[in-house]
Each structure stands twice: as structure tokens, then as C-alpha cells.
Amino acid sequence: MNDYIPPKDTWQRKDPRETGFKPDALADALQLATTEEIGWSHDLKPYLPNGSKHPFDRILGPIKDRSDPAGLVIHHGYIVGEYGDPASNEVTFSATKSYISAVAGLAVDRGLIRSIDDRVCEYVTDGGFDSDHNSNITWRHLLQQTSEWEGELFGIPDSIDRGRQVGATSGTAASRTASGTASTMVAVANDNDRKLRRPGDFWEYNDVRVNRTALALLRLLGESLPQFLKRELMDPIGASDEWIWHGYENSWVDVDGQSIQSVSGGAHWGGGLWINSFDHARFGLLFLRRGRWRARQILSDAWVDAMTEPCPINPNYGFLWWLNREAGISSNSSPGSFAARGAGGNVVFIEPELDLVIVLRWCANPTRIIDRIVESLSN
């Protein structure tokens, strides 16, 4: 593994041949990526809820048009391939969730959360974890999406996302039970009325509950997640000042007399993280380097191990990160690879065995492109 870490405002590029790529094969893979554009209009509003199911199941946060496909290939820390405009700040959708995971890791490393198996109600007393059901939810349950949290947040009931099942290769997966069974991996209507299980007994991709996780962390920290993340992680890794993390028009909460916006874990109702591909790549490189940035250990080895440990119910999921244990992200990469993934083909892929980070934006088939890039590495 190379120790190169890019300084702020610059990033060294290398000829891909120097780091072990077959240059023509990599060029072909990146050319393919430019043609594998997601089949969405540039106007993203039609892909968000319109209020037909519930008055608050509509656009609540800012949203902007997307740009054209873009991406980066980082090998041994150096940029060896790029296409499109990686400097463009883009809506990230559910790749935002992995940034929430990073905030949780920082809280654990600083002793603000003593154990991820502690009940959240021992730390957060805003009423969201007071019921008999919700009081059994732990930080682990929230981060693995097995919490079964019940309630309403910012006007949206958790039932809006109950039983949500979409294709496993699109950044989400089907619901799973503690018995290990999984529903068919195709898009189906939500089963909004399904009976809740005990916390920890059912895996479900539910944005209301992820937003409740973000709010719980805000309560714990006493400050906004963007402010905390910028100071503790993004500035130390040399990220730009252009990224911005949005919440909703109605997600402002009172913290000791101060009004703070609770941010969202994606753009399901608008909002979420808007960030460029270079900053995404720095974030990915931090985890490739196991939380270390030059001489500073920003996140602990222990956290990187914990967040990539498979959920017992869903082996393809860690702590708000997708895992490649069953080759759902890349068939050419190791089971130890993992990714931040969001709708629209937004991916930050990390392959520790190859010392590789790949960022893809607005890609219709991320698995195909990642596999082609990995294939272009010389054996």
C-alpha cells in the first residue's frame, strides 16, 4: 500500500501504467462509463414523492438538477483516471448515509457513545425513544437499519417506508428477517401496514429511521452534523468548502435555546449531501487508509472494522455502508470491499485489497463499470 495522501487543493495524478493498470483497458472502461448514464432527466424533482400518499410525503428539502456522468479512479492514493466534471457539486442521495456513519464513529471514538449496544434512550431524551418499543433500540440497530423505530418525524410517519423493497444493485435491498430470509429483490409496493418486529429482528431500508438516527446524533453532539463533520473530518482530510448538507424546511429543532437544522440521510424528500467527486474520493481514501490521514488517526481502526462487519440479518450491510460479501457491488472485487451508495448511480467504492477507490456519479450500471475498471488492473 502506498502512503501518498493528497494535500488540500491539489491531488497528484499518475499515468495509470505507473500504478499497474493496463492503460488502454482503463481508458475503455472510463469511456464506457461516460455512455452508461442513468436514464433520468436532469430535473430530479419527478423522482421524489409528490404528496399523493401523505401530505408530508413530498419534497421538503432543496433539490437541484443533476449534471452529466462523472467519476474518478484513485489507485495507491493517486488519481489515475477521471471522466466528466468531478468538480461539480451533485446531489448524493443515499450515499449520504455513510457520512452519518462517520459521524457516529467519531462520537464512539470520542467516548460520547460508550457502546453501540447501549440503548439510545440512555443518551437521547427528546421523546423519540420513550415508548416500550422504541426504548429497546440501540445505536447498533439504528446504524444497521434494524431498529424498527416507530413514530413520526418531521411530519412523516415511519410507515411510509415500511416494507420498502427495491433492487439490490441500485443502492438498496429487500427487507430481511432474523431468520435470514429475504423478499424478492425487485421493486414492489410498500407494505405500510406490516406488523413491526422487535428491534434487531428485521432489516429494512427506511429513510425516516435514518433521519431519526441523524437527529439522535444531533441531540448527542449538541450541534449540527455538518458543523461537526466539517471540523472533525472533512477539513482534516483537505475537503473543499463547497460541500453542503441539507435538511428539510421543517427539520429545525431546539437545542439549548438554539435552532439547529437536522439533516437528512438522503434526498428521498429532498435535501441530503451535495458534494463533488474529489471530496467523495477523499472521504473514500480515508476509509481505504483505515481512518488515518498522514499522522492523524481521524477514525479508529476499531471503527472501520465495526462499520464493515456484516449485519447478522443482511450480510451485505454494515453501519450504513454497503458490503460486497455476496458480490452485489462487484463480482471482480474481494468480499472485503464496500461502498457508499445512492440512487441515481452515485457510488464511492473502496477495495482495500487493490488499494483502490472508485467514485461514480449518475451511472446506470455501477457494477459493470467497477468490474471493468478492476479488470483493467494488470495481474
| Integer Rg of the chain from CA | 20
User: Does residue 16 belong to any structural domain of this protein?
Assistant: no
Confirm if 197 and 234 have CB atoms less than 8 A apart: no
Question: Partners of 359 in the beta sheet?
Answer: 72, 348
Which pLDDT belongs to residue 378? 75
Q: Is residue 379 part of a domain?
A: no
φ, ψ at 119 (rounded to 5°): -75, 140
The C-alpha cell that represents 341 in the structure block: 451508495
Q: Is 76 within the bounds of a domain?
A: no
Residue 210: inside a domain? yes
Residue corresponding to grid cell 413514530: 151
CB 100, CB 265: distance < 8 Å: yes
Between the two ends of the chain, the Cα-to-Cα distance in Å is 16
Per-residue pLDDT of the chain (379 residues; tens, 9 = 90+): 568 999 998 999 999 999 999 999 999 999 999 999 999 999 999 999 999 989 999 999 999 999 999 999 999 999 999 999 999 999 999 999 999 999 999 999 999 999 999 999 999 999 999 999 999 999 999 999 999 999 999 999 999 988 776 434 333 344 455 544 333 222 334 556 678 999 999 999 999 999 999 999 999 999 999 999 999 999 999 999 999 999 999 999 999 999 999 999 999 999 999 999 999 999 999 999 999 999 999 999 999 999 999 999 999 999 999 999 999 999 999 999 999 999 999 999 999 999 999 999 999 999 999 999 999 997 6
Note the pTM of the prediction, 2 decimals.
0.94
- Tell me the residue range of the domain where 192 lies: 108-219
- Please state the φ and ψ torsions of residue 205, each to the nearest 5 degrees: -85, 105
Q: Tell whether 142 is covered by a domain.
A: yes
| Diameter of the chain measured on Cα atoms | 60
CA dist 71 and 370 (Å) reads 11
Instruction: List the grid coordinates of 60.
Output: 421538503
Torsion angle of C-alpha atoms 90, 95, 99, 100, degrees rounded to 10: 120
**Which grid coordinates are listed for 379?**
495481474
Count of domains observed in the chain: 1
Residue 149 lies in a domain: yes
- Per-residue pLDDT at 180: 42
C-alpha cell at 50: 409528490
Sheet containing strand 70-75, strands side by side: 78-83, 70-75, 356-361, 346-351, 338-342, 322-323
- Grid cell 471522466 — which residue? 83
- Asked if 268 and 259 touch (Cβ cutoff 8 Å), the reply is no
Distance (Å, whole) CA 283 – CA 286: 5
**Is residue 156 one of the residues assigned to a domain?**
yes
Per-residue model confidence (pLDDT) at position 199: 98
Residue 177 within any structural domain of the chain = yes
DSSP letter for 189, please. Answer: -
pLDDT at 183: 30
